[in-house]
Amino acid sequence: MRRHAIGILAVCALLSACSPAGGPRSAEGIITLSEPESPFVAFNIWVRCGSQDDPKGKEGLAAFTANYLSDSSTRNNSYEQILEKLYPMAAGYGANVDKEMTTFTGRIHKDHLDAYYALFKDAILAPAFREEDFNRIKSQTVNFLKQIRRFSNDEELTKELLFREIYRGTPYEHPEEGYVASVESITLQDVQDFYAKHYTRNNIVAGVCGGYPEGYGRKVRADFDSLPVGTAERAARPEPAPIDGIHFLLVEKNIKASPVSFGFPIPVLRPDRDFFPLMLFNSWMGEHRNSFSRLYQVIRETRGMNYGDYSYVEAYPRGYATQVPPVNVSRRSQIFEVWIRPIAMTQPGTLHDRTLFALRAGLREVSRIVETGMTAESFEETRGFLKNYTANFGATGSRRLAYRMDDSFYGYPDPGFLASIKPGLDALTLDQVNAAIRKYLQAGNMWVVIITQDAEGMKRKLLEGDADPHQLSGAAARPGDRGG
């Protein structure tokens, strides 16, 4: 990233005003998107650490530290004073921690820019590390893990467990917020140590977007340069173990509707040549919360089995809460993932049978598309859709800025991912898409996670059933089912 940024600086020095007005500017450690008409200013401070950096036995420490910093006293203001000052501005700031990235984001109306930024920067640059703040955050976090997380969102659970199985033995294995035992063991000293190790000058990229005054980016960067230089090593890229066959994790719970997640690693990342082919295929197969896609049509639309069915080629945490892709969850390892929302008892039969049917339908769609490839018609249709749909991904200044931070993570060349989508899709051919499908998709080696009543009963059905889980009975396949 450094080399790239220096390249830009050198070019700009030679050709003055080379960047279009309002275009992104990127120098070492600072990204700025000037939008002078906007009454808002958005901030994004990216710290290069995530749950992959949690020490053993302290899983959840990265998330805990970020939550702590964004919700505690600073050396200049007590927590109560911070809340009091933010209140009339109707503003706040928060942190998001994923496997590799930690981002602190905030947004303010121009009327309050200076007062707000003073508070925002202190959260990261001048934490007070007070015991009472630590106790509050710890109590909230432990309560959340013990009482809430496990019991109120089964859909997220299947996805979380899918990642855990696929990434066993790697730094991606554990959930970002950690486990009850590991979080209970976190001390204030742990937080301070983690902060000292990772929150260093050369480990941070700062970003500003919107109607900020001239020179603001330089000022922000100078503030973050006050942090010490650090020597934290980047965690090694996770190498998930190859999966041999279809492995099931059945989670027993007394519920009336069973969610299913299945998936396997794919070695394709955003800047790779095969990314746009896979992105297009994935949109056809299971575009998030869109109803025209293949999986949705087969499972929900035709058969009314559940609320929705989607697929992903990039991590999509908390999908239930959003219509557009999450930002700042960039990773060096991705999986292909199918999310089958809870299958309910909407018709006679047993829940086990209906759930396994939905799973088989999903697997069948994956093997079929590998076999047949997409047609020219569906390719063009999907491309037309995606070119327009992705226009909405950068609707806000905060998101436009976040995408630029992700560009920085991936070393994505200018003009950045968002601006590259349309031309990237335009340049695609059907052959490229089908070659990517053949190369990376398959339905024989993966993990499947199901939450179900009577897990033993489901296990028996799986073991005693057809040897090939892709077989569907005659009643299940429908005449007129169309392939890709």
Partner 1 sequence: MRVFLGALFLLALSGGSAAEGKIFPFEYRLVQLENGFKAYLIRAGASRQIAYVTVARVGARDEWEPGRSGYAHFFEHMMFRGTEKYPNYDAVTSRIGAARNASTSIDVTQYYLVASSDSLEQIIDLESDRFMNLKYMEPQFRTEAGAILGEFSQGRANPYLYLMEKIQDTAFDRHTYKHLTIGFEQDVRRMPEGYQYSLSFYQRYYRPENCVLLLAGEFDFNEAERLIRKYYTPWKPGYVPPQIQAEPPQTAPREATAEFPGRTLPILTVNYKGPAWSAAEKTAAAAEVLGAVAFGPNSDIYKRLVVKEQRVQTLDGDFGLSRDPNLLTILTMVNRPDDLPAIKEEIQRTVEKFRTDLCDQKFLQDTKSAMKYGFLMSLETAQGVAFALRSFAVFTGGIEAVEEYYRTLDSITPEDVRSAAQQYLVENGRTTVILVPAKEGTK
Binding of partner 1 by 347 (CB under 8 A): yes
Token pair of 417 as six digits: 């991912």
Q: Which is nearer to partner 1, 226 or 346 (CB)?
A: 346
Rounded CA separation 421/391 (Å): 9
Rounded CA separation 294/286 (Å): 6
Binding of partner 1 by 386 (CB under 8 A): yes
Kindly tell me which residue out of 106, 277, 362, 397 binds partner 1, with binding defined by CB under 8 A.
397
Specify burial of residue 226 (Cβ count, 10 A radius: 0-12, 13-18, 19+): exposed
Rounded CA separation 197/203 (Å): 10
Strands 30-34 and 204-210: parallel
User: Which residue do the tokens 């992959």 mark?
Assistant: 52
Q: Which is nearer to partner 1, 235 or 433 (CB)?
A: 433
Nearest to 91 by CA among 119, 69, 72, 67: 119
Binding of partner 1 by 390 (CB under 8 A): yes
Q: Which is nearer to partner 1, 48 or 303 (CB)?
A: 303
Kindly tell me which residue out of 256, 321, 376, 480 binds partner 1, with binding defined by CB under 8 A.
256
Neighbours of 263 (CB within 10 A): 24
Strands 334-343 and 246-252: unpaired
Binding of partner 1 by 476 (CB under 8 A): no
Kindly tell me which residue out of 4, 129, 154, 180 binds partner 1, with binding defined by CB under 8 A.
154
Element of type H or E holding 206 = strand 204-210
Nearest to 298 by CA among 231, 358, 370: 358
Site for partner 1 in 110-149 (CB under 8 A): 111-112, 132, 135-136, 139-140, 143-144, 147-148
Site for partner 1 in 63-92 (CB under 8 A): 79-80, 83-84, 87-91
Binding of partner 1 by 290 (CB under 8 A): yes
Interface with partner 1 (CB under 8 A), residue total 68
Neighbours of 261 (CB within 10 A): 27
Site for partner 1 in 305-344 (CB under 8 A): 305-307, 323-324, 341-344
* Stretch near partner 1 under the rule CB under 8 A, chosen from 176-184, 215-223, 252-260, 432-440: 252-260
CB of 1 vs partner 1, minimal distance in Å: 28
Give me the count of residues in the chain: 484
Q: Where are the extended beta strands (E) located within 87-135?
A: 93-97, 102-109
CB of 313 vs partner 1, minimal distance in Å: 19
Q: Which residues bind partner 1 (CB under 8 A)?
A: 38-40, 79-80, 83-84, 87-91, 107, 109, 111-112, 132, 135-136, 139-140, 143-144, 147-148, 150-155, 254-257, 289-292, 300-307, 323-324, 341-344, 346-347, 381, 384-392, 395-397
